[in-house]
Amino acid sequence: MLTQEEQERIRKSFKVKNWSETKAEDAWSIFKIMGEFANGYEKMSAIGPCVAIFGSARTKPEDKYYVMAEEIAYELTQRGFGVITGGGPGIMEAGNKGAHRGGGKSVGLNIVLPMEQSSNPYIDKDKCIDFQYFFTRKTIFTRYAQGFIVMPGGFGTLDEFFEALTLVQTQKLANFPIVLVGKSYWQGMLDWIETTMVDEGNINADELQLFKVVETVEAAVNIIEDFYTRYALRPNF
């Protein structure tokens, strides 16, 4: 059952606007979008090699995946990488906490939401960037990360995972490593991809090689490090 607030938002979206209202609102949105891109590009332009860590905002500090995310971030900083997260609580906090503990760059791309999201205290003060729009935030993620660690999460995590995967699949992004952590968590989705998407011909079987699935901190970090060692990559900007 929709709340009164949700019903009102639906009614508002159907409200008929005159040309002046539409033009003014669209123009203001364009300037806000441009501002988010400009701010993001400026702050991230000299960030250096970083790995994005995605995952649920609802994961508690005592959860094993929180602990793993923190350790993955820490180990990445010990190998010279910075860490980019969505800037919020849960897995994002764990990623920034590990990077902060390791003395590496700790970046937070925080999305302004009516619930859940607020920036965590482990982000470097000059590397916390707020966004109103998900699509500008995802652009900054994919432009400035050279690898993606995907911890268990919800719809937002799936969105980020498939965004990165689609960009690699379509060759809009270099074939940077995408690593799913937690086989038991992801297995149902993987089974569906293999038995439905592949069988229906909507993706090719070899495209399953665009990402890896691991169980341990060491395995996740090694995939990132081995990839960099093999290709001697520079930051992707």
pLDDT in tens, 164-218: 999 999 999 999 999 999 999 999 999 999 999 999 999 999 999 999 999 999 9
Give dist(CA 196, CA 27) in Å, integer: 43
Average pLDDT, the chain: 91
Element holding 161 (H helix, E strand): helix 155-169
82-85 and 50-54 beta bridge pairing: parallel
Please name the residue that has the structure tokens 């669209």.
26
The total number of residues written for the chain in this structure: 237
Compute how many other C-beta atoms are within 10 angstroms of the C-beta atom of residue 22: 11
This prediction's pTM: 0.88
pLDDT tens for each residue of 58-114:
999 999 999 999 999 999 999 999 999 999 999 999 999 999 999 999 999 999 887
Compute how many other C-beta atoms are within 10 angstroms of the C-beta atom of residue 180: 21
For residue 203, the 8-state DSSP code is: S
Report, at the CATH architecture level, how domain 8-231 is classified: 3-Layer(aba) Sandwich (3.40)
